[in-house]
């Protein structure tokens, strides 16, 4: 029998933490976090990180694994999670993956990295050229490397243009060739059976929970947490510094946002995130796995079994 990954995801503020703790205790499971901000030490209040008490109830993994000044890669995440999951099963426990970060969540269903890389000196040269010329010039260079077109690449997105340029140079192949080869790759967790639950709530209820959470975070000391994180180098890590709750608080501390607008801006941007999550869950996750948390008291018996596939369900 294949080992099983139980995967619990859902919208921001939906209530994943309490339900995951209850299920893990009832089923001799350990939790692997799939939240891209919980990796960073000292990002506690603004991420609604499980408390020390909650983590004492159930063993958690992939929380506080790196410094906030150091960007954590999907490659490293996949490598570490494979080792962690194998260790949990070797001790006769079950694995419960919990979190809502789409890119990291997708790693459990499909390949997400190809391992391509350039010599550091060559990559620095390309990045310097990219940063010192108009985006249109970089797109023009990319077109010369892809004479048959750029497919569905978002050429208005600088980060994606640069990544595509680096991948083409590292491989000597076109984006279309790379896409075909990538689609044929095995996923890092193909050997596991996946059982999924996506937690939801009514839109109005979720938005009210967001408002309450933002107020609670500010009352708990979010501003002081971010002040400390600035001293620890959070601005050297764009993923952390740009996260909702942190970027607005940084703007406030830098004098670019009045305190009277801080809660409002965090709440508004979190609601925008909810909208993006609705789109992502609808596009990539099966409808049959979605459950309204307000109608749930426990999880057993509800897990949606996913068919084996090399592509996202």
**pLDDT value of position 307:** 62
What b/e sequence results for 128-147 when a residue is b if at least 16 CB atoms lie within 10 Å of its CB, and e otherwise? eebeeeeeeebbebbeebbe
**pLDDT value of position 308:** 57
Q: What is the pLDDT along the chain (313 residues), one digit of tens a residue?
A: 678 999 999 999 999 998 899 999 999 999 999 999 999 999 999 999 999 999 999 999 999 999 999 989 888 999 999 999 999 999 999 999 999 888 899 899 888 777 777 888 899 999 999 999 999 999 999 999 999 999 889 999 898 899 899 999 999 999 999 888 887 778 889 889 999 999 999 999 999 999 999 999 999 999 999 999 999 999 999 899 999 999 999 999 999 999 999 999 999 999 999 999 988 888 887 777 888 887 776 665 677 776 654 444 4
**pLDDT value of position 297:** 60
The three-state (H, E, C) secondary structure of 148-182, written as one string? CCCCCCCCCCHHHHHHHHHHHHHHCCCHHHHHHHH
Q: In whole angstroms, give the CA distance from residue 29 to residue 185.
A: 30
**pLDDT value of position 70:** 93
Q: In whole angstroms, give the CA distance from residue 32 to residue 281.
A: 20
**pLDDT value of position 187:** 84
**pLDDT value of position 1:** 60
User: Please, which contacts does 242-246 make with residues 24 or more away whose CB atoms are closer than 8 Å?
Assistant: 243/37, 243/43, 243/46, 243/47, 244/269, 244/270, 244/273, 245/46, 245/47, 245/214, 245/217, 245/270, 246/43, 246/46
CATH superfamily to which 4-112+188-220+275-305 belongs: P-loop containing nucleotide triphosphate hydrolases (3.40.50.300)
- One DSSP character per residue, the chain reads ---EEEEEEE-TTS-HHHHHHHHHHHTTEEEEE--TTTTBTT--TTTTPPPHHHHHHS-EESSS-B-TTSPPPHHHHHHHHHHHHHHHHHTT-EEEEE---HHHHHTTTS---------HHHHHHHHHHHHTS-HHHHHHHHHHH-TT--TT--TT-HHHHHHHHHHHHHHTS-HHHHHHHHHTSPPTTTTSEEEEEEEE--HHHHHHHHHHHHHHHHHHTHHHHHHHHHHTTGGG-HHHHTSTTHHHHHHHHTTSS-GGGHHHHHHHHHHHHHHHHHHHHHHHS-GGGEEEGGG-S--TT-PEEPPP-SS--
**pLDDT value of position 311:** 43
Domain ranges of the chain: 4-112+188-220+275-305, 120-183
Helix 203-220 to helix 222-231 angle, to the nearest 10 degrees? 60
**pLDDT value of position 310:** 42
- Comparing CA positions, the residue from 62, 170, 34, 158 lying closest to residue 114 is 170
CB-based contacts of 192, cutoff 8 Å, min separation 6:
2, 3, 4, 5, 85, 108
Terminal Cα distance for the chain, rounded: 21
């Amino acid at each position: 029998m294949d080992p099983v990954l139980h995967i619990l995801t859902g919208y921001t503020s939906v209530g994943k933490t309490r339900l995951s703790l209850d299920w893990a205790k009832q089923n001799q499971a350990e939790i692997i976090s799939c939240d891209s901000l919980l990796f960073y030490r000292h990002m506690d209040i603004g991420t609604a990180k499980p408390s020390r008490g909650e983590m004492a109830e159930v063993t958690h993994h992939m929380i506080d694994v790196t410094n906030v000044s150091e960007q954590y890669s999907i490659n490293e995440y996949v490598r570490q999670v494979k080792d962690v999951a194998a260790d949990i099963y070797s001790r006769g426990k079950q694995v419960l993956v919990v979190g809502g970060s789409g890119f990291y969540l997708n790693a459990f269903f499909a390949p997400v990295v190809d391992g391509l890389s350039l010599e550091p000196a060559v990559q620095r040269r390309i990045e310097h050229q990219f940063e010192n010329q108009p985006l249109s010039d970089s797109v023009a260079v990319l077109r010369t490397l892809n004479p048959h077109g750029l497919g569905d690449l978002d050429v208005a997105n600088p980060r994606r243009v640069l990544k595509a340029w680096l991948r083409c140079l590292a491989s000597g192949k076109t984006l279309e060739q790379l896409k075909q080869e990538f689609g044929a790759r095995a996923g890092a967790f193909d050997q596991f059976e996946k059982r999924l639950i996506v937690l939801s709530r009514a839109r109005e209820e979720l938005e009210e929970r967001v408002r309450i959470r933002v107020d609670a975070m500010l009352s708990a000391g979010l501003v002081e947490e971010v002040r400390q994180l600035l001293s620890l180098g959070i601005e050297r890590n764009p993923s952390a510094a740009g996260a909702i709750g942190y970027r607005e608080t940084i703007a406030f501390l830098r004098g670019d946002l009045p305190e009277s607008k801080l809660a409002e801006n965090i709440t508004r941007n979190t609601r925008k995130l909810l909208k993006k999550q609705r789109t992502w869950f609808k596009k990539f996750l099966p409808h049959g796995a979605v459950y309204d948390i307000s109608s749930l008291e426990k999880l057993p018996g509800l897990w949606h079994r996913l068919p084996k596939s090399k592509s996202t369900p």
